[in-house]
A and B are shown apart, each in its own frame.
Chain A
């Protein structure tokens, strides 16, 4: 049985069960389900749609909204008001019921996710309170506490929508369709660059930006989608009940939605369904508790967070992984670098030979009073390996961070690929052809090895959002191409056997390999490596050297910040030495190694005399 079969069978069974449910009574010759039970199932499905949206926000993008019920209410009121006051047909009203909350979501997200994701949560709570307040006070428009009653019954093509036998339960099936649609979007998103970018941005902001992901945009998108689903749920709710008021959409309703998401297992595809079903069933039982019901929700949320933070589905998946992992054979690690045919394409975007890929002039960077980089001028020729070395705190990483856009230079010029770099953001530079690794490897820990590399392909996709969600043939062809290239890159670094493993479970040396494969995925022109050899064994370093040389030989420009002098000597075409933020030497490796100023910077004063002659560099293998 293929590993995909399980979920497929589950989906088929669910669809069959939902399709047959209204007719169960006829089949089994009972009076069950009554219209009451049918309505309960419909309400649960509507909640599930909203929870799926919330799952995209919480589970994928790592953001929390506590105004989800209000966004749902917004959708419901838009649908109700358009039908009541403007005679909008059902379908048109529903379009607005989805679009307006989605736009509201974007408006709330954009200002807040720039600084701290936490702020989004605060703003969503505020939105929820204001929403309920406005509805309560603006009696003329919303009916206040008595709400909006006698919403016209929805119709499609003149056919009234009702969940009764006479209409063939058409409203019920419409909502089933919407639920399946929501599940499809969630699934398509999870298996696309958008979903991967959302998860990546929640796991490492820096690595995401370095791979060309616009964090603010992707988070805003996540919240807009999530708000759109809330609106859809709300619109359906209004058309089911034909009555709506603010009491359904309070803060505690938002908490209930969040609890469903977390209980089911945020970030999993089945979690929203499981969480909604379990909690909705439980809430029917808890209704007798009156004011203690909210207390019970709070208690339940605390218990879930303490006892099973991954939720039901997440917890089961972890359990299954552990059981499966026990019997797992040793994974085969491939030799690297393994320059498979087709690898040359990765370096195909190279800068013209003989050009200066990077030029800095008087580059200065100050933090408060501290000058980290002081008037540094360097030139990196295309297709070369250029090492940047110097003692701790010399300013090497700072230079790297300016070149990759993470820091903004205090003064001086930097030009990249012949263009002046003026305050461009990391993701923009990444799209222009700069890739980098990080001193403390920043992998997307809970994503698989293959997904990590695919995130690296993010900026090379051409298919737009809707093509991606609809999985058009063009999109699928593109996705197949990227997948093939990602697998090829894993082959190059010898990690093919680990493709489906979570990145955090890799041994350290493999994590470094993966980070480099991921950095190559955008097909960069310039690769910045920040201490790639730190923590590697001797053998691994030699392999790393071979890889770096292989990249430069294919025309890629590599800047290497490294302490490992032996490696630098073996791999670099040119070396720039920094000390106290200033360039103290620049030249071919052997020349730099013999420079007394360099020896002093590394070793302290008087080193050159008291010690064996450092000038005896002749024994260094080039």
Chain B
């Protein structure tokens, strides 16, 4: 029983990270029908920059805030410089290659400058585990689901209640129509990538104290976030959150009852099977293609 609670709690914690990353992919895809393929590096930048800023004597919270803002700016720059010029035609794939290339550059230059060893991201919430129903967990890990709830609610409010959010939905729904009511669709897309950057970097900062910051921490997490978004049906935010949490919990149970080695192999196989059964994703609608 204790083991089950343990897996459930840590699963929800890591699942929250996948869900946040998935939401980031959702935000980018909605606005641009393209994504930053190496979005995991934005996640990594959030954690790594926080550590670097703390090195020069800035406190945890301001460092984290600055790191998130810088990562968001980076995400926006990637949209402007590498996605937009390669996303002019429908079904273009150039943006995929350019963002992968930029991701490679980001990751390797971080390795060179930051070092290849993982570094501590000290947080007062990751010092002493607390006991919950027999399971041991850092408060920092509990922070993640809480943050996910806040992020999801905030995103929902943003999309439904603010003019900018409505404009973003308008761009997602029909770029031409958005332009005709006075919305600069390009600018909105840039903002969407920056917003996704905030989500990704925030996830990185929050999980950093648990997993340590390193240049390679983002690759797999980013990939899982993308797959979670695909499995959910990439155009459904709530689906993405549910799929992310489910995937996190599933992973922890596989890890617990089988092995860490089996975790990703089984996890990805499951995802491929799901995609086989639900080509449009678990919560996706059949897309209608005009002939």
Contacts and interface: CB of A to CB of B under 8 A. Distances in A.
A130 B275 CA distance: 17
Contacts of B227: 122, 126
Interface in A294-319: 294-295, 297-299, 301-302, 305-306, 309
Contact of B102 (A117, A133, A302): A302
User: How would you classify the secondary structure of chain A's contact residues: helix, strand, loop or mixed?
Assistant: helix
A126 B219 CA distance: 10
B104 A297 contact: yes
A294 B111 CA distance: 10
Q: What is the interface residue range for chain B against chain A?
A: 35 or more
Nearest to A126: B268
A302 B101 contact: yes
A295 B86 CA distance: 21
Contacts of B65: none
Nearest to B286: A115
A133 B261 contact: yes
B207 interface: no
Nearest to A128: B223
A492 B30 CA distance: 47
Given A64-B96, A301-B98, 7 more contacts: A119-B230, A134-B261, A293-B108, A295-B104, A297-B104, A301-B104, A305-B86
A426 B104 CA distance: 41
Contacts of A107: 272
A438 B291 contact: yes
24 contacts: A66-B100, A108-B272, A111-B273, A112-B272, A112-B275, A123-B268, A127-B268, A129-B220, A129-B268, A130-B264, A130-B265, A130-B268, A134-B265, A137-B260, A137-B261, A292-B108, A292-B112, A295-B105, A298-B102, A298-B108, A299-B105, A302-B98, A309-B94, A407-B291
Nearest to B287: A115
A138 interface: yes
A255 B104 contact: yes
Contacts of A294: 104, 107-108
B112 A122 contact: no
Nearest to A204: B91
User: How would you classify the secondary structure of chain B's contact residues: helix, strand, loop or mixed?
Assistant: helix
B259 interface: yes
Interface string B69-110: 000000000000010011000010110111011111101110
B281 to A, nearest CB: 8
Given A110-B276, A292-B108, A301 B101 contact: yes
B226 interface: yes
Given A110-B276, A111-B275, A130-B264, A302 B108 contact: no
B93 A401 contact: no
Interface in A124-158: 125-127, 129-130, 133-134, 137-138
A262 B96 CA distance: 13
Nearest to B104: A298
A408 to B, nearest CB: 10
A461 B56 CA distance: 70
Interface string A89-123: 00000000000000000011011101101110111
Nearest to A400: B291
A592 interface: no
Given A129-B264, A291-B111, A305 B94 contact: yes
Query: Nearest 10 pairs between A and B by C-beta?
Result: A137-B261, A298-B104, A298-B105, A111-B276, A301-B101, A294-B108, A295-B108, A298-B101, A302-B101, A291-B112
B38 to A, nearest CB: 10
A494 B260 CA distance: 66
A297 B100 CA distance: 11
A62 interface: yes
B98 A305 contact: yes
A367 interface: yes
A397 B291 CA distance: 9
B116 A291 contact: yes
Contacts of A117: 91, 93
The CB with the most chain B CB atoms within 10 A, among A111, A134, A367, A401, is that of A111
Contacts of B220: 129
A206 B291 CA distance: 7
Nearest to A62: B93
B210 to A, nearest CB: 20
A111 B97 contact: no
B43 to A, nearest CB: 16
A133 B93 contact: no
Contacts of A126: 223, 227, 268, 271
A306 B226 CA distance: 26
Contact of B97 (A115, A293, A301, A406): A301
Contact of B261 (A138, A258, A438): A138
A533 to B, nearest CB: 19
